[in-house]
Structure 1
Amino acid sequence: MTTVAERLDGRDRLARLAQLQGEFLASAERADPATKVPSCGRWDVRQLVVHLSRIHHWAAAQAARRQEVPLGRGPFDLPALYAECAAELRDALATLDPDARAWTLIDDGVRKAEQTGAVRFWHRRQLLETLVHLWDLRTATGEGYLGDDDDWLDCLDEVVGTMHPRQVRLGRVPAPAARIVLAPDGVDGRWMLAGAPADAPEAVVRGPVRSLALLVWGRAGLDDGGIRVEGDRALAAAELAPGLTP
């Protein structure tokens, strides 16, 4: 039987990245650059588009193990900037061997001899970066974005397996004092935040996979999107509050 991890890893993430980049570009072309993006603090659409463009540009260099050439301060033609940086990233990832060594987030705070980062890390990371920011953009403009359940499941898995452990490893947040389990509806699997003592109290957070993915990315709360908590709700809220992602 294929596991959830095997199913997600078997996806063509580069092809999906290209699809989501196309959707983001189309939305950016329609949007008023001055529209506020509430899920991104004080940012407006202009800042969000420039941010994702810079991230694509930076990630292309990280995958190739080189320092990127700064894009400058602008002002930018937003659609043109995003299209250029999105294509740069896709071209870099399509050209590089997925198993070649790369500079990645999984190696931050890890001894050099133990580093294992490879180019394929960026296939997933940039797909999910684009997914979350596409949701930010479409939500800000009122268009809304449902997305694909496998994208959101991949997003949840990445936060629990990569992003949150990195936050703990770098000392940005403490290790959990409680066992926080995320159990998406209709999925044969549970995801638990790493680092809690074995005898710690447990809270199980259930809900649609998209809602749980948005929860761990700080885009939703425990009262949103059909989320339910079994166990100590205040405990779950306290453990999720410090931020599981950068």
Structure 2
Amino acid sequence: MATETLRKDYPEGFEGAIAGLTLSDVIQLKGINRFSGCISVEYGNRLGYIFFRDGEIIHSEQEGESGADAFYEIMRWPSGSFKVQPKVTTTNNTIQDNWRFLILEAHRLMDERHEGDKTDLSPVAVNTATGSEARPTSTISAKLKQIPGVEHAVLMGKDGIPTSDRSLEGEILAAQGTFLALTADRLGGFFGAGNLKSAAVQGEVRQLLLFESRQQYLSVAVKPDSRLDAVEAEIKKALVPNK
């Protein structure tokens, strides 16, 4: 059994609480990093497992249930703790869909489950190519995407969840921005610089800008051939209210 393997044979691993990062964020980071291993998730007296191979989710199980249904059930848990164990593998292969589809489908199912509990004032757009649902981007994000060099922009809460953008690109950008915020805060503490206010990452494939307000983050993906300082200056102009 996977439970016995996790508890007895592989005690080592990274442990943490799903608070600053949502489980969705952790899964996206592992998918992007082509992780192989297992994430065990504990919520109260419930225990679930999500297995990866080269960044793709191949199997999930919880309380006798396995496959995609087990994954969706784990994603419904509102809080918990997790343990990342790269040495844990499985021969089971009950999931064929990629991790991006699984996350979007999990959010869709959660929205369906909660639609009776609250009124959704935002229209839902349907991607005719994939059939998946996606909420429209915020007004600020749409405005910033008009700036030359900006590929995508997403506004998100301090929990890393996009406030209105449920597109795949928005989910990934939010996860990257959240990871950058957590890393920058740790570095700020180490160097005595304090908490993050803004951050910039310059790379060959993608550039990233991150801005912090009292209750939200703004994560912006910038094209690699654009001048990061120039784009940052235009973004700051766009964020200043017209007098």
TM-score, normalised to structure 2, is 0.27
Structure with greater strand percent: 2
TM-score, normalising length: structure 1: 0.27
Question: Greater CA radius of gyration, 1 or 2?
Answer: 2
**Is the helix fraction higher in 1 or 2?**
1
